[in-house]
Amino acid sequence: MNCTEFLANLTDYFDAKTASSLRSELEQHMADCSHCYVTVNTTRQTIEIYRNDELFELPESIRTKLQQAVLIKCAKMKENKGRKI
């Protein structure tokens, strides 16, 4: 297995979707190839850092405000339709 083939299987490898024979081939390549070994580890860290970060959180106060705004509009829509939606 070369590095290009290794990368082509990286997504399935992360998803643990590879058959066990392919999986051991991939792991063998990682043991032999420091580049791919680093790529796998740092890609895994990339995913974890983004997943754990609260950069994209919606503050509770804004949540409440948005929910109320939507519900008021929904109630109006329901009324205008004059029937069950």
- Contact footprint for other proteins (CB under 8 A): 7, 10-12, 15, 34-35, 38-39, 41-43, 45-47, 49-51, 53, 55-58, 62-63, 66-67, 69-71, 73-75, 77-78, 84-85
Provide, rounded to whole angstroms, the least separation between the CB of residue 79 and other proteins: 11
Residue 16 zone, left/alpha/beta (φ > 0; ψ -120 to 50; rest): left
Provide, rounded to whole angstroms, the least separation between the CB of residue 26 and other proteins: 14
| Residue 16 amino acid letter | A
Residue found under tokens 């860290």:
45
